[in-house]
Amino acid sequence: MDLAANLEQVRRRIAAACERAGREPASVTLLAVSKGQPPEVVRAAADLGLTLFGENKVQEARAKIPLCPGRLRWHLVGHLQTNKARDAVQWFEMIQSVDSLRLAEELQKQAERAARTVPVLLEVNVAGEASKFGYRPEQLLAELPALNALPRLEIRGLMTLAPWTPEPEKVRPVFRRLRELKTECEQRLGAPLEHLSMGMSGDFEVAIEEGATLVRLGTALFGPRPVRSAPAGAPVSH
Ligand SMILES: *Cc1c(COP(=O)(O)O)cnc(C)c1O
């Protein structure tokens, strides 16, 4: 794996997608998804100037983060169980995967206990895939007032995982729908939302063209993840 070359290539592709969409490259933040990668790889990425990292499992993050440079910032991008909310609040700057009021209430409780506010994104299952977590759009709009009433959570935007496809153009409507949904949420909240976290290694350019502010890239930077068996019944993550 040539991380420096991959990073340069990714930066070029981000810049080109921004150019096509008439956006500033600085309006897109690259989040390096380091799940499955050891601390040495994170350190190498940090040495190349990456500062924002994502993990999808609290347990893996707790073991890894203390072995990585302390200046790095970490986002949780994978499904969070309520019984891990306390650790999530301890280890992550932002939680991108809030997908129920019950989870949000538990995060509120743990944030209160930790005397901090927690920036969150609300995860939306735009395509309604059974294998994925996230709010259905109607359900999100219904719960938005209750979510917004939790004083220790700051709703910063929306996150989605598009269905896997070899043809990223096919998932453009998913990204567009998330952007429209963000506008609907902003109208209901009467306040702007900063982030649209959408786009992974296979589809980030289309996501940027549709307004992504955070792209979450794993394999495009680090190459294929070391193979590990997923727990039985776990949704497949790409
Ligand atoms: C693994 C993962 C990514 C990165 O996936 P790649 O296809 O390797 O870029 C992004 N977001 C989430 C939520 C993930 O679990």
pLDDT at position 122, please? 98
Which residues fall within 8 angstroms of residue 225, CB to CB, at 6 or more apart? 35, 36, 37, 218, 219
Asked, for residue 222, whether it belongs to a domain, the answer is no
Q: Domain holding 65: CATH number? A: 3.20.20.10
Predicted confidence band of residue 238 (pLDDT cuts 50, 70, 90): very low
Does residue 60 belong to any structural domain of this protein? yes
Q: Work out the average pLDDT over 45-51.
A: 98
Structural domain contains residue 104: yes
- pLDDT of the residue at 233: 43
Assigned domain for 59 exists? yes
Cα–Cα distance measured from residue 19 to residue 16, given in angstroms and rounded to the nearest whole number: 5
Residue of the CA atom closest to atom 13 of ligand 1? 77
pLDDT of 37 higher than 50 = yes
Can you say whether the dihedral through the CA atoms of 93, 97, 103, 104 is positive or negative? positive
Q: Comparing 14-18, 113-117, 184-188, 227-231, which segment has the lowest mean pLDDT?
A: 227-231
182 within domain boundaries: yes
Q: Is the pLDDT of residue 36 over 90?
A: yes
Ligand 1 pocket, Cβ-based, cut-off 6 angstroms = 33, 35, 56, 77-78, 161, 200-202, 216-220, 237-238
Token pair 């909240």: residue: 189
Pairing assessment for the beta strands 153-159 and 195-197 based on DSSP bridges: parallel
Domain containing 193: what range?
Answer: 3-217
Ligand 1 center–CA 227 separation, angstroms: 14
pLDDT in tens, 78-93: 999 999 999 999 999 9
* Residue 235, pLDDT score: 53
Considering its fold, how many domains does the chain have in total?
1
Task: Quote the mean pLDDT of the chain.
Answer: 95
Measured by CA distance, the residue closest to atom 6 of ligand 1 is 218
In a domain, 157, yes or no: yes
Mean pLDDT, residues 49-55 taken together: 98
Q: Is residue 227 part of a domain?
A: no
Determine, yes or no, domain membership for 31.
yes
